[in-house]
Amino acid sequence: MFRKLLAVFVVVLLTALPAAAAEKTLSLVISTLNNPFFVSLKQGAEGAAGTAGVKLVVLDAQDDSAKMTAAMEDLIQKKVDAILVNPTDSDAVTPSILKANEAGIPVFTIDRGASGGKVVCHIASDNEAGGKMAGEFLAKTLEEKGNVVELVGIPGTSAARDRGKGFNDAVAAFPGIKIVAAQAADFSRDKGLKVFENILQAQPDIAGVFAHNDEMILGAIAAAEAAGRKGIVFVGFDAVNDAVAAVKDGKLAATVAQQPALMGAMGVEKAVAFLGGEALPEFIPVPLQLVVKE
Amino acid sequence: MPSLPWRPGSRTLLLLLLGGLMLAVGAMEPRFFTGTNLLNVLRQSSIIGIISLGMTVVILTGGIDLSVGSILALSVLFAASAAKAGVAAPLAWCCALAGGAGLGWCNGFGIARLRLPPFIVTLGMMGFARGLALLYTGGAPLTGFGALFRFPGTGRFGGVPVPVLLFALAFLAVFVLLERCPWGERVRSVGSNSVAAWGSGIDVPGTVAKAYVLSGTLAALAGLVLVGRLDSAQPSAGLGYEFGAIAGVVLGGTSFSGGQGTLAGTIVGVLIMGVLENGMNLLNVNPFSEQVVKGVVIAAALVAYGSLGRRSRAAG
């Protein structure tokens, strides 16, 4: 009797488990797979789906808002359990999100947000945490003392605001570190060069520089090289190819990188948690990573 | 009120503005008046300065060239990809200059031969050249050039930075064309009254077209300085440079309606902008205030011009 029961139990378990797991179908609509950043994002999402035991359908919009809209409509027809979307355009995605809202399908945005419709939560990089990371790295590399310069992005943009706030908050914790100049160089390499040339004239003693993006820091490095000023520690943001090469050459001490794979994985994990009844905040920040010379 | 003739009055005012600005910055930050910083201001002003020389001529014909920033980017990419393919640096420079001249010629053809408005033709070229630059590079910069290729941006000749020398040479060349050649006289007469210029037998289309060729060529030259300084040819290079150049020209007293203005005025106008930017960086002015300060200085200069112009006309 006991054996029979056990056998039935095992059979039920074996058939029921995969059935229970395959119950949930998530879908990921991605702006383009013609960019390594989004390929990593997709791989991260697929990995997390495998771990969580849910089905994940990935659709590539090929940077075309019409294709994205069509994909969203198909998914609404199929009545998937949740839609994760990395929109091609924040405005163009809004009508599709409204349709998903009507159909009662929860929507999550990844990396790029939506300007309308009801979204459960937005999952993207945390620029403020990245700025803080850069500030702490710079302070520690300088042994917690010295004059530093901040090259600011286009004043008023969210990236400049958040990265700047994180950096300033981090540096404020080190009394030996003084920000002697904070000037706008508008995220561009030639303005970074020009503005840092000027700052070099005014400040005879500069130990470190943080720029809100890599383009500006690469301009600043060119300025320091031309002026023959050595021993300055440079920290950038974004990990673009030129900057990663500069880190390898030892010209750039560090640059802050986004983690697309983690972003994709967190998207799936949060969607699964939401379907399991968990309440989520409107914005979920994805941690960043410091790229330094190995 | 003593009767001031219009021209010397405006030039004096402009020089006073530049001098006053320099003294004010120098008083607040003594490092402003060091030799290295003054050379630094000249070197930084040279890129917009070279572009503004061509812009002055274009505005003198009564036109405008919005495409200089995009022409700069595209023609520099010609030179950069030639250099990457192993072409000798001087030959690569010629590629850029020829590219700039060619794109400028297209502007001139549209404006002078097809009689289309300069604003529209050069706006079209602005998008076209920028788009080609982006398409060609796929958005990523070309980086890592030889020392000789970078010479126009980083070199020194007898202690003077090469960008400053190129700026001076370009000024001399355009000055001779404008003030010592019959073409310069034709530019002014076309700009002040093109109908009268037609009547007096001037080749109006030819005169106007050459102004755009000059503007395109000088934009390419400025681009060679920029790529040398950055060691990077970017599809986004020179974005917004047209505004800096136009601001310098207008600040320098050249009239938007054409015919009236001087190259020397443009140089002073460009230097005012250069000193202003340098000064604000030296003094660590709050990034939000920077744009306000720039706007106020330009507006104040133009208001001062306006009132001086009215007074001298009333007195005259």
Contact (CB<8Å) A201/B231: no
Predicted confidence (pLDDT) at residue A184 exceeds the cutoff of 50: yes
Query: Mapping DSSP to helix (H, G, I), strand (E, B) and coil, where does residue B160 land?
Result: strand
Interface of A with B (CB under 8 A): 152, 155-156, 180-184, 188-190, 193-195, 197-199, 201-202, 218-219, 222, 226, 241-242
Residue type at A104?
G
Q: Would B173 be classed as within a structural domain?
A: yes
- Which among B162, B144, B143, B141 has a CA at the least distance from the CA of B153? B162
Q: Would B2 be classed as within a structural domain?
A: no
Contact (CB<8Å) A190/B29: no
**pLDDT score, position B61:** 96
C-alpha–C-alpha distance, residues A132 and A33, integer Å: 31
The CA distances from residue B13 to A203, B171, B271, in Å, are 32, 22, 14
Residues of B in contact with A183 (CB under 8 A): 280-281, 284-285, 287
Q: Would B8 be classed as within a structural domain?
A: no
Q: Which residues of B81-106 are buried (b: 16+ CB within 10 A; e: fewer)?
A: bbbeeebebeebbbbbbebbbbbbbb
Residues of B in contact with A156 (CB under 8 A): 288
Please count the other Cβ atoms lying within 10 Å of the Cβ belonging to residue A77.
9
Instruction: Give the pLDDT band of residue B303 (cuts 50, 70, 90).
Output: confident
Could you give the percent of chain A with pLDDT greater than 90? 81
Element (H, E) at B188: helix B182-192
Q: How far is B135 from chain A (nearest CA, A)?
A: 15
ipTM of the complex model: 0.84
Instruction: Give the pLDDT band of residue B79 (cuts 50, 70, 90).
Output: very high
Q: Which site among B278, B284, B286, B292 would you substitute to test the A interface, given the most A Cβ atoms closer than 10 Å to its Cβ?
A: B284
Show the domain range for B261.
Answer: 41-309
DSSP state letter for B30: G
Contact (CB<8Å) A194/B44: yes
Could you give the percent of chain A with pLDDT greater than 70? 92
Could you give the percent of chain B with pLDDT greater than 70? 93
Query: Mapping DSSP to helix (H, G, I), strand (E, B) and coil, where does residue A178 land?
Result: strand
Residues of B in contact with A152 (CB under 8 A): 287
Which pTM was predicted?
0.82
Q: Are A87 and A109 in contact (CB under 8 A)?
A: yes
Residues of A in contact with B237 (CB under 8 A): 190
> CA triplet B124, B125, B126: central angle to 5 degrees?
90
Average pLDDT over residues A54-82: 93
Q: Are strands A289-292 and A254-257 parallel, antiparallel or unpaired?
A: antiparallel
Q: Would B193 be classed as within a structural domain?
A: yes
Q: Would B48 be classed as within a structural domain?
A: yes
C-alpha–C-alpha distance, residues B64 and B54, integer Å: 10
Q: What residues pair up with A57 in beta bridges, in sequence order?
A: A27
Q: How far is B40 from chain A (nearest CA, A)?
A: 8
**pLDDT score, position A15:** 55
**pLDDT score, position A294:** 80
Predicted confidence (pLDDT) at residue A232 exceeds the cutoff of 60: yes
How is residue A22 written in tokens?
């395959």
Could you give the percent of chain B with pLDDT greater than 90? 75
C-alpha–C-alpha distance, residues A205 and A220, integer Å: 15
Residue B229, CA atoms < 13 Å, CB-side half-sphere = 31
CATH number at residue B291: 1.10.3470
Cα A129 to chain center, whole Å? 11
Instruction: Give the pLDDT band of residue B316 (cuts 50, 70, 90).
Output: very low
State residue A71 phi and psi, 5-degree precision. Answer: -60, -45
Contact (CB<8Å) A201/B287: no
Q: Are B253 and B262 in contact (CB under 8 A)?
A: yes
C-alpha–C-alpha distance, residues B193 and B196, integer Å: 5
Instruction: Give the pLDDT band of residue A11 (cuts 50, 70, 90).
Output: low
**pLDDT per residue over B286-300, tens digit each?**
888 888 988 888 888
Q: Which residues of A14-52 are buried (b: 16+ CB within 10 A; e: fewer)?
A: eeeeeeeeeebbbbbbbbbbeeeebbbbbebbbebbeeb
Instruction: Give the pLDDT band of residue B6 (cuts 50, 70, 90).
Output: very low
**pLDDT per residue over B182-201, tens digit each?**
999 999 999 999 889 999 99
Predicted confidence (pLDDT) at residue B310 exceeds the cutoff of 90: no
Cα B158 to chain center, whole Å? 25
Predicted confidence (pLDDT) at residue B11 exceeds the cutoff of 80: no
Predicted confidence (pLDDT) at residue B312 exceeds the cutoff of 60: no
Residues of B in contact with A155 (CB under 8 A): 287-288, 291
**pLDDT score, position A256:** 97
Q: Measure CB to CB from residue B284 to each of A183, A219, A222 and give the nearest one.
A: A183
DSSP state letter for B29: -
List the domains of chain A with CATH numbers: 2-119+260-285 (3.40.50.2300), 127-257 (3.40.50.2300)
C-alpha–C-alpha distance, residues B255 and B262, integer Å: 10
Interface of B with A in 233-252 (CB under 8 A): 234, 236-237, 239
Residues of B in contact with A201 (CB under 8 A): 31-32, 34, 36-37, 40, 278, 282
How is residue A6 written in tokens?
């056990």
Counting the structural domains of chain B, the total is 1
C-alpha–C-alpha distance, residues A100 and A72, integer Å: 8
Instruction: Give the pLDDT band of residue A259 (cuts 50, 70, 90).
Output: very high
C-alpha–C-alpha distance, residues B174 and B118, integer Å: 21
Residues of A in contact with B31 (CB under 8 A): 201-202
**pLDDT score, position B273:** 92
How is residue A254 written in tokens?
């560090």
Predicted confidence (pLDDT) at residue A71 exceeds the cutoff of 70: yes
**pLDDT per residue over A117-154, tens digit each?**
999 999 999 999 999 999 999 999 999 999 999 999 98
**Beta strands in chain A, from DSSP E residues, in sequence order:** 25-30, 55-60, 82-85, 107-110, 121-125, 146-152, 177-184, 208-211, 233-237, 254-257, 283-286, 289-292
Q: Is A259 exposed, middle or buried (0-12, 13-18, 19+ CB in 10 A)?
A: middle
Q: Measure CB to CB from residue A190 to each of B31, B37, B226 and give the nearest one.
A: B226
Predicted confidence (pLDDT) at residue A269 exceeds the cutoff of 80: yes
